[in-house]
Structures are given as C-alpha cells and as structure tokens.
Amino acid sequence: MPAQPEAERLLAHARAAHERGDALLHLQVDVAHLGGAGSSWGSSENHIVPDESTGYFLSHVESIGWRLEHAGWTFVETGANTSARVWGTGEGVVNRGPVTGFFVFRRAAAPTA
C-alpha cells in the first residue's frame, strides 16, 4: 500500500472523481521496488521487493464505487551501479527503481433495487 499520505491523497482523488460523476479513474501506484547490490567480483544481484498490500489498497478504491477495468506496469529506473568483472568479461549492473502500476477504474454500475 502506498505510504499513508499518498494513500489518503489517492483515495481523496477517487472520492472526488466519483462525486463529480466521472466515468473513469486513472491511478498510478508504486507496486514494487527493484534494488540490489554489486560485488567486488563484478557480479550483480538484482532483487524485486513487492508491495503485498496493493490489492488491499485497490479494494479500498473499489469500495468507493469503482471497478478495476485495466492494469499495466512499468519499471522506472532511478539509478544503476556498474562494476568491472574480475576476469574481464564485462560489467555487472545493478538497477534500482520502482515498478509503477497504472490502474484504470470504471464507475461501478448502480445497484438495482
């Protein structure tokens, strides 16, 4: 789940869009982070740290009156470290940055009585 201030901001945005009568809502949320460490041998080890609470956050958006229509992801590189390999076989690279989820919600159909 996004940090508390960001979650509150996104949920307020979802509520305002629903109250305005918008048909669609688009949210960007960081869903994971790629990190890692180089080594003195020049090798690299990348690892991904997922945000296991993303579904919990998305369910809050749906409780406002939205239904998830489409989701996509992209990696946003914010930095990288390289180190020369000992045996001259190139470089080890460690990338860093968030994996951002792009979520499109459609207004949920009003329940019929």
CA distance 77 to 88: 26
- Report helix, strand or coil for 54: helix
pLDDT 10s digits, 13-52:
999 999 999 999 999 999 998 877 665 555 566 778 888 8
Nearest by Cα to 106 from 75, 76, 61:
61
Q: Which pLDDT does position 96 carry in this prediction?
A: 83
Instruction: Tell me how far CA of residue 10 lies from CA of 3, 40, 50, in angstroms.
Output: 11, 42, 19
- Report helix, strand or coil for 30: strand
- When the candidates are 3.40.50, 3.30.70, 1.10.357, 3.30.110, the CATH number that belongs to 4-107 is 3.30.110
Domain boundaries, the chain: 4-107
pTM of the model: 0.78
Nearest by Cα to 83 from 47, 33, 39, 34:
39
